[in-house]
Amino acid sequence: MGAPLTAGRHFFSCRLAHMLLEGKKGLVVSVTNKNSIGWAVAEAAHNQGAHVIVGAQNERMLERVGELVADYPRMSAVQVDFGIPSDMEALAERVKNDFGTADFVVHSAAFAQREDLQGRFIDTSREGFGIALDVSAYSLVSLCKTLEPVLADDASVMAMSYLGSTRTVGNYNVMGVAKAALEACARYLAVDLGPRGIRVNVLSPGPINTVAARGVKGLTDMITYVHDKAPLKREFGQQEVAGSAVYLMSDLSKGVTGQIVFVDNGYNVVGM
């Protein structure tokens, strides 16, 4: 019984001696600034050997992202708005021209109108509901549909969610519904793309201080509470999410699809 275990350890030590994403090529869309979870993911992927195209939603954000990627030899920036079909088509063409095919795609985008994140969920407007679901959930479907021809076999797709998808969270409201839809979309996409070995998963970080998260009233209190109550009594942030993302991009996760991977120090398992 001892020999197989030794051989197994030797195999993994040899494999892990190399960068996990060496030679892989992919996308992280979208990034707002250096504190974005998407940026931490893009930087971690690059540091593990990947070539990364980093998306920005508009011209103003593209300038910021361009400054971020300037010091990274295997990174480049692109402007892409999920709501503009021509931007999506241009993104697929960019992947084809730069990479041929993409080995990973990270969807890191969400939006809801500020007034729909406060007060009572029941007061959500029809317009606000549609905007939140379109930008935060349907955009993943649209992204996968557009990029499907340029996704490599065994590619990895992932999106970013939050615990508010399955539990009510104050001042999260319609975004919780949108994240629930996002997670359901990921499961159905995992089935559609699975025959080619393409896996689709969701990362669910705890509350982290980012520009996007600051739209949720009381964010600082939420972060303190989770850090205090979670099983792991320490802070967590963008880097912990990036580490889990690298795992899902890598060949180490080839048997994982349709899953929600929590990165919250275990807070999601705690009851009273």
- Is 197 within 8 Å of 153 (Cβ atoms)? yes
- Is 251 within 8 Å of 197 (Cβ atoms)? no
How is residue 30 written in tokens?
């979208």
Rounded CA separation 195/30 (Å): 27
Closest by Cα among 160, 157, 192 to 179: 160
- Per-residue H/E/C for 194-255: HHHCCEEEEEEECCCCCCCHHHCCCHHHHHHHHHHHCCCCCCCCHHHHHHHHHHHHCHHHCC
**Residue numbers annotated as active site:** 162, 172
Q: Which run of H or E residues covers position 263?
A: strand 260-263
